[in-house]
A and B are shown apart, each in its own frame.
Chain A
Amino acid sequence: MSTAKPAEKFSQAQTAWLRFVDKVERGELQDPSGQYVAKGTKAADATGSRITRPKFNAGTAAFAEHYRLNKNGEVVAVPVLGEGGVASKEYVPCDCGDLPPAPTTTFISSQGLAPYSGADNPNGYIWDLKIGHGSAQGDHDGIPSSYTVLYSDLNKGAGGPFIYIGFTRVPSTASENPEAINAQPYAVGPVVGIGYVTKCCYTSDYTNILYPYFPIWKDTGVRLGFREYDLNEGVGGTYIHATLTKNPGFGVPIEIGVLSSNSANAQPPAGWAKASLDLNEGAGGDFIYFCIKSH
Chain B
Amino acid sequence: MKEQGVILSTSVSKATKQLMMANYLNFGLLAFIGSSMMVWPCDGQGVPNNATYPLATSRTGSNALQPFRFYAGIHAAAQQFRVASPTYYTQEVVIRPLYVFVGYQFGPHLGVQVGFLQHNPPSASYSNTSFNQAGQLIEGHGYQDWYNGAVPILLRYRLARRPTHRLHLDALLGVTVEFNHYLGDDMVTVGGQVQYHVHVDSHPTNTYLTAGLGAEYDVTPHVGLMVEGTANRNTTALDADYARKPTFGLGAGLRYRFNIGRSTEQRQL
Q: Quick one: CB contact mask for A120-148 with B, threshold 8 Å, 1 for yes?
A: 00000000000000000000000000000
Does B131 sit within 8 A of A, measured CB to CB? yes
User: For B123, what are the chain A residues with a Cβ–Cβ distance below 8 Å?
Assistant: 199
* Contact across chains for A195 and B121 when beta carbons are under 8 A apart: no
Given A204-B94, A209-B142, residue A195 in contact with residue B124 (CB < 8 A):
no
User: For A210, what are the chain B residues with a Cβ–Cβ distance below 8 Å?
Assistant: 126
Given A204-B94, A209-B144, residue A275 in contact with residue B138 (CB < 8 A):
no
* Contact across chains for A292 and B126 when beta carbons are under 8 A apart: no
User: For A294, what are the chain B residues with a Cβ–Cβ distance below 8 Å?
Assistant: 131, 135
Identify A250's interface contact among B121, B127, B130, B184, CB under 8 A.
B130
A132 to chain B, nearest CB (A): 21
* Contact across chains for A195 and B144 when beta carbons are under 8 A apart: no
* Identity of the chain B residue whose Cβ is nearest the Cβ of A204 in the assembled complex: B94
User: For B268, what are the chain A residues with a Cβ–Cβ distance below 8 Å?
Assistant: none
* Contact across chains for A251 and B131 when beta carbons are under 8 A apart: yes
Q: Is the interface of A mostly helix, strand, loop or mixed?
A: mixed
Which parts of A242-286 form the interface with B (CB within 8 Å)? 243, 245, 250-252, 254, 273, 275-277
* Contact across chains for B129 and A290 when beta carbons are under 8 A apart: yes
Q: Quick one: CB contact mask for B160-185 with A, threshold 8 Å, 1 for yes?
A: 00000000000000000000000010
User: For A217, what are the chain B residues with a Cβ–Cβ distance below 8 Å?
Assistant: none
Given A193-B138, A195-B140, residue A275 in contact with residue B127 (CB < 8 A):
yes
* Identity of the chain B residue whose Cβ is nearest the Cβ of A195 in the assembled complex: B128
* Contact across chains for A245 and B144 when beta carbons are under 8 A apart: no
A144 to chain B, nearest CB (A): 24
B65 to chain A, nearest CB (A): 49
* Contact across chains for B137 and A273 when beta carbons are under 8 A apart: yes
Identify A195's interface contact among B94, B127, B132, B137, CB under 8 A.
B127
* Contact across chains for B141 and A276 when beta carbons are under 8 A apart: yes
Q: Quick one: CB contact mask for B251-268 with A, threshold 8 Å, 1 for yes?
A: 000000000000000000
User: For B132, what are the chain A residues with a Cβ–Cβ distance below 8 Å?
Assistant: 251-252
A71 to chain B, nearest CB (A): 43
* Contact across chains for A198 and B126 when beta carbons are under 8 A apart: yes
Does B133 sit within 8 A of A, measured CB to CB? yes
Does B122 sit within 8 A of A, measured CB to CB? yes
Identify A276's interface contact among B122, B124, B127, CB under 8 A.
B127
* Contact across chains for B128 and A213 when beta carbons are under 8 A apart: yes
A268 to chain B, nearest CB (A): 12
Q: Report the Cα distance A252→B132, complex, angstroms.
A: 6
User: For B10, what are the chain A residues with a Cβ–Cβ distance below 8 Å?
Assistant: none
Does A192 sit within 8 A of B, measured CB to CB? yes
User: For A20, what are the chain B residues with a Cβ–Cβ distance below 8 Å?
Assistant: none
Given A273-B137, A276-B139, residue A251 in contact with residue B130 (CB < 8 A):
yes
Does B125 sit within 8 A of A, measured CB to CB? yes
User: For A287, what are the chain B residues with a Cβ–Cβ distance below 8 Å?
Assistant: none
User: For A202, what are the chain B residues with a Cβ–Cβ distance below 8 Å?
Assistant: 121
* Contact across chains for A209 and B124 when beta carbons are under 8 A apart: yes
User: For A243, what are the chain B residues with a Cβ–Cβ distance below 8 Å?
Assistant: 126, 128
* Identity of the chain A residue whose Cβ is nearest the Cβ of B123 in the assembled complex: A199
Q: Report the Cα distance A200→B125, complex, angstroms.
A: 11
Does A205 sit within 8 A of B, measured CB to CB? yes
Given A204-B94, A251-B132, residue A198 in contact with residue B124 (CB < 8 A):
yes
Q: Report the Cα distance A198→B132, complex, angstroms.
A: 24
Which parts of A182-208 form the interface with B (CB within 8 Å)? 192-202, 204-206, 208
Q: Report the Cα distance A18→B184, complex, angstroms.
A: 41
* Contact across chains for B125 and A273 when beta carbons are under 8 A apart: no
* Contact across chains for B129 and A199 when beta carbons are under 8 A apart: no
User: For A292, what are the chain B residues with a Cβ–Cβ distance below 8 Å?
Assistant: 129-131
Q: Report the Cα distance A197→B122, complex, angstroms.
A: 12
B residues sitting closer than 8 Å to A (CB atoms) are 91, 94, 121-133, 135, 137-142, 144, 184
Question: Could you write out 8 A-B pairs with CB less than 8 Å apart?
Answer: A193-B129, A197-B125, A210-B126, A245-B128, A252-B132, A275-B127, A276-B129, A294-B131
**9 extra interchain contacts, Cβ-Cβ under 8 A, other than A198-B125, A209-B142?**
A192-B130, A194-B129, A195-B129, A196-B127, A198-B124, A199-B123, A205-B121, A209-B124, A294-B131
CB-CB nearest 5 A-B residue pairs: A251-B130, A193-B130, A199-B124, A195-B128, A294-B131
